[in-house]
Amino acid sequence: MVDSHETIGHLFRQRRRQKKWTQADVAQQIGSKQSQISSFENGNEHALAREKVTALAKLLHISEERLLARPINDKPACGFCTNRHCPTSFPYVRGEVVVFRPTFLKSNRPYCRWCGEPMRYDCSECQAPIEEGLNCTACGAEYLDHVHVDNLDAGNDPETWARQQRKDNAALTTTRRPSEPGQNQPKQPESKEAANHT
Ligand SMILES: [Zn+2]
Ligand SMILES: [Zn+2]
């Protein structure tokens, strides 16, 4: 067991008490439930969605540096980077849209170690923990990000764009290896999908 004084939940509780707010007070302000705040403060880092943690941090004047300084969770969880332009994001063309498939990473940091954008560890629809696959196993929401080809700024064929992007990403993720001990490196995407559309 980790000392509860080391968890981020403890820091949030401490700050909330300093401001003389109840759990219900802050829950109302960020639009969540008192039970979720309680669970979060007690060390269940997945009780709140990332956006809620950010909102709560803002409310309690807990800086991003402070959030970054400590793991969001003791144990690495399955998550992905929310930035579609991150090298871990795998673009391919599906009909009229470019689809960005996230690469699943085991991590416990709030921000992507490749690009610095927020990581997502829970479904944006139902807050269920993320598992590998294209959809949330609890509610079926798709993890894929879609962009219509017209909005791509591609300047050329979207298939060419996606292929080039995958190549650049692969080059980036093999040459740049951010160090986070004990973490798996992101898997290289396969280009099966691309072959179907040429
Ligand atoms: Zn990223
Ligand atoms: Zn869901």
Distance from C-alpha of 155 to C-alpha of 113, rounded to nearest angstrom: 30
Q: What is the pLDDT of residues 182-195, one digit of tens each?
A: 444 444 444 444 44
Q: What is the pLDDT of residues 62-73, one digit of tens each?
A: 877 677 655 566
**Range of 46's domain?**
4-69
Cα of 195 to ligand 2 centre, how many Å?
30
Cα of 109 to ligand 1 centre, how many Å?
12
Cα of 132 to ligand 2 centre, how many Å?
13
- Does the global pTM surpass 0.75? no
Structure tokens at 16: 């909330």
Which ligand has the shortest distance to the CA of 172? 1
Which ligand has the shortest distance to the CA of 117? 1
DSSP-derived secondary structure for 84-126: TTSTT-EEEEETTEEEEEPPPEEE--SB-TTT-PBEE-B-TTT
Q: Are residues 62 and 83 in the same domain?
A: no
Cα of 167 to ligand 2 centre, how many Å?
31
Q: Are residues 47 and 105 in the same domain?
A: no
Q: Are residues 116 and 166 in the same domain?
A: yes
- The predicted pLDDT at position 164 comes to 87
Cα of 155 to ligand 2 centre, how many Å?
35
Crossing angle of the two packed helices 50-59 and 34-41, in degrees rounded to 10: 80
Cα of 152 to ligand 1 centre, how many Å?
19
Residue 122 has pLDDT above 90, yes or no: no
Q: Are residues 90 and 185 in the same domain?
A: yes
CATH number at residue 53: 1.10.260.40
Which helix (DSSP H) or strand (DSSP E) does residue 147 occupy?
strand 145-148
Q: Are residues 107 and 155 in the same domain?
A: yes
Distance from C-alpha of 114 to C-alpha of 172, rounded to nearest angstrom: 9
Cα of 78 to ligand 1 centre, how many Å?
14
Q: Residues 5-32: what's their mean pLDDT?
A: 88
- The predicted pLDDT at position 6 comes to 56
- The predicted pLDDT at position 71 comes to 59
Which residues, at least 6 apart from 10, have a Cβ–Cβ distance to it below 8 Å? 4, 41, 43
Which ligand has the shortest distance to the CA of 122? 2
Cα of 84 to ligand 1 centre, how many Å?
8
Cα of 156 to ligand 1 centre, how many Å?
25
Q: Are residues 63 and 92 in the same domain?
A: no
Q: What is the pLDDT of residues 137-171, one digit of tens each?
A: 889 999 888 877 777 665 668 888 888 888 888 88
